[in-house]
Chain A
Amino acid sequence: MTELLQNLLLGLLLGGVYALAASGLTLIFGVMRVINIAHGAYLILASFITYWLWDSFGIDPLLAIVITTPIVFALGWVTYKVVVSPIRTAPMASTVLLTFGLALVVEGAMGEIWGNNSTAIRPSYADESFIMGGLFLPKAQVYGGLIAVVVLVLLWGVLTKTWLGRAIRAAATNPSSAELVGIKVSAVAALVFALGIAAAGAGGAITGVLYPFVPGSHYQWIARLLAIVVLGGLGSLNGAVLGAIMFGLAETLTSAYVSPSWATAVPYAIVFLVLLIRPQGLLGTRLREDAVAA
């Protein structure tokens, strides 16, 4: 019983981290209709930057989020300006290919800089746990989960409570009308892309502490993140959070109670099945298909 409770709690904390990492992916899709396959690569990049800050300067990896996130935000903004904006109006399948190419380039760059060996960030509390009434909760997971929730709430606040958030939602709903009421859609798009990448960066700073990583880990991450956002409904932030929590729980429970060797197949199987059975996901909505777009 205690073991189950412990696994549920860990699953929820992990879900929080996943939700943060996936929120950027769903945000970028919601506003720009771009499925950013490079999302996982930026997440791993943030893990490497965190590692570098910790290894070279001794900065606590979880506190380093305040440095990592702005760096990744800037990289996201540059990426948008240089490669994504030229093809914003291209068919979605092209943007998938483009961002996939981007992921490969980032993977190659990380391999050049940090090498292809497994890297782990191990702060002093890496092996410590909180012990409460028979529950063992690793400190890194607790801190990471809580930080993820805080960042996610901040992001949610920006999107729902500020003028910027309203502009983003307006641009997402109808770009040309948003332009007419004075919103510079191209600037909003750049900002959203950078913000989405930054969210992945914040997530990557945390996951870097939780799991060891190599440049090639990004495939695993993009599969996980896609499974989450596809499950929740592409473009829906609430859906991503719901999908992430379900996924975090499922993954923790599977690795605890079922053989872990097949666990790698879980995200791919989820993507496969959800897109087949309910393509709009749990909270996604289908658009009116016959509205004339000419």
Chain B
Amino acid sequence: MNASTEAVTPAPSRPWLQPIWLGRAVALAAGVLLVVYPMVSDDIYYQNMIILSLIFAVGASGLNIISGFAGYISLGQGAFLGLGGYTIGVLAVRFPDASPWLWVPLGGVVAAGVALILGFVSLRSSGPAFVIITVAFLFLVQVIAVNWVSLTNGTTGLTLPLPTWDRDIMNWPFYYVLVAILALQLLMTWWIRRTKLGMGLIAIREDETKAATIGINLPVQKIVAFMASALFVGMAGAVYGYYLTFIDPRGMFSILISVQLILSMLIGGKATLWGPVIGAFLVEWLNEMANNDWGGGNTRLFLFGGLLVVVVIFLPKGIIPAIESVLSWRRTKGKAGLVGARIGTGGSLASITDRVQLVDRSEIPDRALLEVRDLKRHFGGVKAVDGASFTVPEGSITGLIGPNGSGKTTLFNLIDDTIRAESGEILLDGRRIDGLRSWQRAHLGLGRTFQITRLFREMTVLENVVAVQRRFSIAQLGRIAVSGAEAKAAEELLEFVGMRAFRDQQARALSYGQQKLVELAQILMLDPKLILLDEPAGGINPVLIERMGEMIRELNSYGKTFLIVEHNMPFVLGLCDPIHVLARGRTMASGTPEEIQRDPAVIDAYLGDDFVLEEKVAP
């Protein structure tokens, strides 16, 4: 790598003074303080406040998995605390002889089970519709708790047996069980953030359709995430119920609890490990102040409502990300940014050990790898794709050209299921894929880049590449993605496209041309048989266009088949054979570059009369 890169990230001389280690030291100190506090102080007021903070910290941290990582904002998270509370309440009343602690894990299971339902809901709705559904879900659960009197005792509520242990250590069991649950919750969050699952969730947050095209199985990912976001929260809810010893629908399913959880997450910083915890302690402290010192009821509404408004407007990222950005600003102040650095010269495919398997070109059979038959998709009166049929021979670099609006990008969208075709057949490797979802097509060997690059903006370059899932199994969701074999494979591919030096940069900071290169490395991670490139040479400089052509040729020599949409005619004519011409959603001509250039219909529809003239003048 070149010198300018190294100048930006000098080896730290005192690693212990780096922010990450300072952060860890603070976390450790806070953890120790938390554990010893009840032993050194018997102030019930503060013990109560910490117990409630711990409950809300678990709730907010769970919420963080679906809302912070996966981006599905939920105002129904409080329901899972309530469900845990009701589980212990109902069972403790039914079985007065058993210790209520037995039901705490069951509270988690019940919450996770109900979260499964909410997970299914998230498959059909997103954004604001999902927020509304979660509110409706919370109220629906509340209405059920009110009306199912035989189970829940309705609005009268349930009273749990009082704790039987020594009064001197009254709160200790609650306190330490909650510390343990919070520790488990944080461990899970930390682990998810480093796995394929976590990468997939963040990818879903950033761009769900794109995530599907790189092999991320959306339904499974989301459902797993929803269950994970509720499991420990249900347990904390059970402890909460036992701690309160009284449960009623109004208190357990109050929308204000959900608001408190979402506030905690937003204030601390979503998608961070410690943010929701810090937020929970802060908001609970304010909550207690409002209740005890500032007049209660309406003040709490002012506080929560006002905070929500203020945080959304002024602190959308939260405390921890705000601190991080100040630190990184101070660290890099006066230094040249890496983004302006030169793109690497690129590596050779020969050095790649994991992905991009070598195929002997002489063994490539003479057949169509992709076959599209009579594909149709209309948008109202617009016949974007209207009976397109063509084939992509295995081992070829096939071009797809046509005037703007002729349906090229829509055709790509139909092939990778970004949009579902109305009719027609798509065959990959002789197998019908038109009924399959995007990620299934990706697993069968289809990779696709977008005309306007669609990297996951808030993820680093490396994370963008390791987010790819080449095949699907529950076990591989748990694989560590950010280091080890996956990261090594990703780095090799980044080296190949010349972007390795940028591995820790956020994708949104890259220039357009750099993004194109990263997107190429990203889909190579799928090790696809067929690569669809949508305008690979569009909007980038001539040197990079040349490099792009070289890479396509090299990959092709390793047996990769390409289908390329491009307006840069010299690029297409020099690279592609055969070429298909699309007009009004149909293939109007196919042939070698020479044939296409001479075809009068193509000249009339797309190239224009002067195109041929220029070619004649040139030599």
Contacts and interface: CB of A to CB of B under 8 A. Distances in A.
A102 B132 CA distance: 16
Contacts of A87: 312-313
A94 B125 CA distance: 16
Given A87-B313, A261-B147, A262-B143, A272 B137 contact: yes
B139 A223 contact: yes
A101 B306 contact: yes
Interface in A82-118: 83, 86-87, 90-98, 100-109, 111-112, 116
Contacts of B418: 290
Contacts of B299: 108
A98 B309 contact: yes
B479 to A, nearest CB: 30
A265 interface: yes
A90 B128 contact: no
Interface string B33-75: 0000000000000000000000000000000000000010101
Given A35-B128, A101-B309, A275-B132, A290 B140 contact: no
Contacts of A276: 121, 124-125, 133
B125 A105 contact: no
Interface in A268-294: 268-269, 271-272, 275-276, 279, 288-290, 292, 294
A69 B418 CA distance: 46
A100 B301 CA distance: 11
Contacts of B589: none
Contacts of B273: none
B418 to A, nearest CB: 7
Size category of the A interface is: 35 or more
A18 to B, nearest CB: 17
A101 B297 contact: no
B262 interface: yes
In terms of DSSP, what is the predominant structure of the interface of chain A? Answer: helix
Interface in B131-186: 131-133, 135-137, 139-140, 143-144, 147
B24 to A, nearest CB: 31
Interface in B244-274: 255, 259, 262, 266
Nearest to A102: B309
Contact of B305 (A86, A107, A226, A288): A107
A192 to B, nearest CB: 18
Contacts of A226: 132, 136
A292 B73 contact: no
A80 interface: no
A219 interface: yes
Most chain B CB neighbours (cut-off 10 Å) among A101, A267, A275, A290? A101
Given A100-B308, A262-B143, A269-B140, A93 B133 contact: no
A249 interface: no
A268 B128 contact: no
A197 interface: no
Given A105-B306, A275-B129, A288-B379, A97 B73 contact: yes
A92 B139 contact: no
B304 A104 contact: yes
Nearest to B382: A288
Given A104-B259, A109-B298, 20 more contacts: A35-B132, A86-B313, A93-B71, A97-B131, A97-B262, A97-B308, A101-B304, A101-B305, A101-B309, A106-B305, A230-B129, A261-B147, A265-B147, A267-B136, A268-B136, A272-B136, A275-B132, A279-B129, A288-B382, A292-B452
17 contacts: A35-B131, A92-B127, A93-B128, A93-B130, A94-B312, A95-B312, A97-B131, A97-B308, A100-B308, A105-B306, A105-B309, A111-B297, A261-B147, A269-B136, A279-B129, A292-B452, A294-B452
Interface of A: 35, 83, 86-87, 90-98, 100-109, 111-112, 116, 219, 223, 226, 230, 261-262, 264-265, 267-269, 271-272, 275-276, 279, 288-290, 292, 294
3 closest residue pairs by CB, A with B: A104-B305, A101-B308, A108-B301
